[in-house]
Amino acid sequence: MHSTFGQELKISVWGASHAPEIGITITGLPAGERFDLNEIQAFLNRRKGGQNAFSTKRSEADAPVIQCGVNWENESTFVTDGGKLTALFINNNVRSSDYDEMKYIPRPSHADYTSYVKYGDELDRSGGGIFSGRMTLPICFAGAVCMKLMKDRGIEVFGHIYSVENIADTPFDLTNPDRNAIGKEFPVIDKEAGERMVKMMTGIAGDGDSVGGIIECAVTGLPAGVGEPLYDSMEALISHMIFGIPAVKGIEFGCGFKAGKMRGSECNDPFVIRDGKVKTLKNNSGGIQGGITNGMPVIFRVCMKPTPSIYKEQKTINMKEMTETTLSLIGRHDPCIVPRAVPCIEAAAAIAVYNLLVLYDNGRKQFGTIREEIDSLDEKIAGLLCERMELASEIAKEKKAKNLPIRNEEREEAVLRHVEEVGGEKTGKYIRNVYRKLIDETCLLEEEYLDE
């Protein structure tokens, strides 16, 4: 059974809904990255069940047990050690007996039938087995890790409920989606629409039925140039991960399927320069062209089908006896998956985007397009030079007090020798020259201080 994803950051998920535990192994994390377990837990809690009338009554702690790959600084802070990180989650609140009678009676539109055809009795299908929504918990863990790594670079991933059945939230502004506009309690922008959704979902739960919806997700702060042509495009990798979330039926980027009804003059995103940066006036492309980010927010929408497990009587079969029958479910299910799936979608997208970001970083190094890196280094160097020169004023005061000359050849030579050594065989002599000039300029500054 294949349940891995990713090249640069590889995730591998295991376990099943009613197994003693489920978990994830993440390979390729950089060493020395610091994480706050409380922040990760807060993210995981967003997908927790048992919290309201429209989610499953199954309630678990959902607390990760990190087995390897980290060093603990204190009980809630860990630092990656560069090895494989394995986190597992104990399944405590399991009621497998709910599934005993339906072992050979597949729930319509769940994976019971297809997984039986493929794996037979060997596979534990109780509670949906590996096809259960529970398997999104380890994905959310890996997603939280990727989100933290990207947030440190100003990249954020956030989503909201775009619609449930026919009730629609305010959509994102495609050119400038606002994370802060999304409610903390219930992930919608329009509070009133959210209240109507909650009322409708609660009613549906009471009817023993289920309902689907759409989630809109944004990735902001990505530089232009992330994503590979053709098969590892930004759309391809995000979609690959997103379809690993059970109950996903479709995905569209930017203006999505509406593009099929537009003319080029309406659909194209005109380029402009704003504050020296390339932007587009619209964002029907969803921030991606040719599979590569263009620097605008990456925006996509995901369609989630209604939960297949419903309590209304349904036609089905007995797979063993090859007879037709009906099924009236018992068990605990989400009448609407959409609210719990919002963090799952964010997490899946974060894992995909992080993989492409690592490729982007590697590519930039490989092909020498490192101007931005030089600019950022220059900023740091200039800051440090400033600090160094300010210290010169202190030295100048001391020299004046002690009546010492500004130039001190012995000290200068020691500094030059030291930086030459630091620079090493190849660049040492050049760094020495730079420092020769730096010392001359610093002495001029000291003289200025003395004159004052």
Ligand X SMILES: Cc1cc2nc3c(=O)[nH]c(=O)nc-3n(C[C@H](O)[C@H](O)[C@H](O)COP(=O)(O)O)c2cc1C
C-alpha torsion sign, points 310, 313, 316, 319: positive
- The Cα–Cα gap between 231 and 439 comes to 53
Exactly one of 309, 358, 392, 443 binds ligand X (CB under 6 A); that residue is 309
Structure tokens at 369: 């397009």
Residue 131 interacts with ligand X (CB under 6 A): yes or no = yes
Report in angstroms how near the CB of residue 135 gets to ligand X at its nearest. 8
Interacting residues with ligand X between 321 and 350 (CB under 6 A): 333-334, 337, 340-341, 344
Exactly one of 15, 64, 133, 159 binds ligand X (CB under 6 A); that residue is 133
Exactly one of 308, 327, 336, 356 binds ligand X (CB under 6 A); that residue is 308
- The Cα–Cα gap between 24 and 66 comes to 10
Structure tokens at 92: 């405590």
Residue 130 interacts with ligand X (CB under 6 A): yes or no = no
Interacting residues with ligand X between 47 and 76 (CB under 6 A): 47, 56
The answer to whether 173 and 216 are in contact (CB under 8 A) is no
Structure tokens at 230: 């053709």
Interface mask toward ligand X for 226-245; x: CB under 6 A: -------------------x
Residue 119, judged by CB atoms within 10 A of its CB (0-12, 13-18, 19+), counts as middle
Per the document, the length of the chain is 452
Exactly one of 80, 126, 136, 280 binds ligand X (CB under 6 A); that residue is 136
Report in angstroms how near the CB of residue 186 gets to ligand X at its nearest. 16
Minimal CB distance residue for ligand X = 133
The answer to whether 369 and 147 are in contact (CB under 8 A) is no
Exactly one of 6, 64, 128, 138 binds ligand X (CB under 6 A); that residue is 128
Exactly one of 91, 283, 307, 355 binds ligand X (CB under 6 A); that residue is 307
Residue 213 interacts with ligand X (CB under 6 A): yes or no = no
| Contact region with ligand X (CB under 6 A), list: 172-180, 306-314, 320-328, 366-374 | 306-314
Exactly one of 126, 132, 284, 285 binds ligand X (CB under 6 A); that residue is 132
**Locate tokens 């790594």: which residue?**
149
Report in angstroms how near the CB of residue 131 gets to ligand X at its nearest. 4
Return the closest-CA partner of residue 292 out of 360, 351, 346.
360
- The Cα–Cα gap between 17 and 125 comes to 8
Residue 227 vs 331, nearer CB to ligand X: 331
Report in angstroms how near the CB of residue 274 gets to ligand X at its nearest. 38
By three-state DSSP, how is residue 65 classified? strand
- The Cα–Cα gap between 300 and 253 comes to 4
Interface mask toward ligand X for 96-125; x: CB under 6 A: --------------xx--------------
Residue 444, judged by CB atoms within 10 A of its CB (0-12, 13-18, 19+), counts as exposed
Binding site for ligand X (CB under 6 A): 47, 56, 110-111, 128, 131-133, 136, 245-247, 305, 307-309, 333-334, 337, 340-341, 344
